[in-house]
Amino acid sequence: MPRSGGRDRRFAYFSLKWYTSAMSTAPAPIRVLFVDDDTSYMAVAQHLLSKYQGTRFDILWKQSGRDALEVLGKNPEIDLILMDYHLPEDNGLEVTRQIREKNIDIPIIFLTSNRDFRLAIEAMKYGVEDYLVKDEAVDSVLPRTIVNILERVRLKKQIAERVKADLIAKNRTNAIKELIVTVCHEFNNPLAAIKISTDILLRQSLTSGERSLVEGMDRNVGLVEKEIARLRDLDFDATAPSAAGRGGAAR
């Protein structure tokens, strides 16, 4: 019996250790702000989200746009907003407008009781990601839509960041090119004057020491001209790493 108790304790220890490890590596839950005064549909939505495999949802429920705006001001970590159109006081479209005016860029899914294409178009003007009819958002439709939209938004942000990085790199390259053109121009004018002067001097009657000095100056001017030509002909577009390349190298 003592041996059996020892095995039970070891089993319980390793089970707890495995559970703790599994929980620590589990993906973070998706934090959803659900704005709807329909308590019955709220229960339906909770059920649909809770049984979706592989994803956990933390739902914060508010029944009015005013309460939702207050929550958004205090909880910047919300991942997505589910917004019903029919709300007390302001409708969902007006609440969406207020959210965007506050520069809150959280993805929004509109929920309505019936299909209204004019409403859908108006909602899209405020950057609403999708438009669902409640009766059609059954089984895995609602959770799958949330997951897909968050993935789409994540990819759009990645692309935007990459485009921004490439634009910064391009602007930097253009600035270097302009600087090089200026430097080459500033060097070429006096070098041309020196070159003309050395040619004139070499045609004069000079002592061997003077001629040697002028010829050395002429050779040095030629070397400087070659280096300036090399600098002018550098291809920065080919040598500068792209943002994607830098990211790949960093990984």
The sign of the torsion formed by the CA atoms of 177, 182, 186, 192 equals positive
Q: Does residue 57 lie within any of the structural domains?
A: yes
Kindly list the strands in the beta sheet with 108-112, ordered across the sheet, starting from the edge strand earlier in the chain: 57-62, 30-35, 80-84, 108-112, 130-133
pLDDT confidence of 251, banded at 50, 70, 90?
Answer: very low
CB contact burial 108-142 (16+ within 10 A = b; e otherwise): bbbbbeeeeeebeeebeebebbbbbebeebeeeeb
> In the chain, how many domains are there?
2
In a domain, 3, yes or no: no
Q: Are residues 56 and 114 in the same domain?
A: yes
Predicted TM-score (pTM) of this structure: 0.59
Average pLDDT score over the chain: 81
> Can you read off the two tokens belonging to residue 114?
């019936």
Q: Are residues 172 and 126 in the same domain?
A: no
DSSP bridge pairs for 30: 57
Q: Which amino acid is at 123?
A: A
What local confidence, expressed as pLDDT, does residue 250 receive? 45
Q: What is the CATH number of the domain that holds 87?
A: 3.40.50.2300
In a domain, 68, yes or no: yes
Q: Taking the mean position of all CA atoms in its chain, how far away is CA 3?
A: 57
CA 53 from centroid of its chain's CA atoms: 28
Q: Is residue 42 part of a domain?
A: yes
Q: How far apart are CA 238 and CA 236, in angstroms?
A: 5
- Give the per-residue pLDDT at 180: 81
User: Which domain range does residue 87 map to?
Assistant: 26-139
Interior/surface letters 49-87, b for 16+ CB within 10 angstroms, e for the rest: beebeeeebebebbbbbebbbebbeeeeebbbbbbbbeb
Instruction: Say which CATH number the domain at 239 has.
Output: 1.10.287
Q: Is residue 152 part of a domain?
A: no
249 to each of 62, 138, 158, 170, 172, how far by Cα in Å?
45, 44, 17, 19, 20
Same domain, yes or no: 45 and 126: yes
Residue 39 lies in a domain: yes
* More confident: 78 or 236: 78
Mean pLDDT calculated for residue range 98-115: 89
Residue type present at position 81: I
The model's pLDDT over 165-221, given as tens digits with 9 standing for 90+, comes to 888 888 888 888 888 888 888 888 888 888 888 888 888 888 888 888 888 888 888
Nearest to 72 by CA among 152, 128, 46, 64: 64
**Nearest to 68, CA basis, from 54, 47, 89, 53:** 89
* Between 31 and 201, the higher pLDDT residue: 31
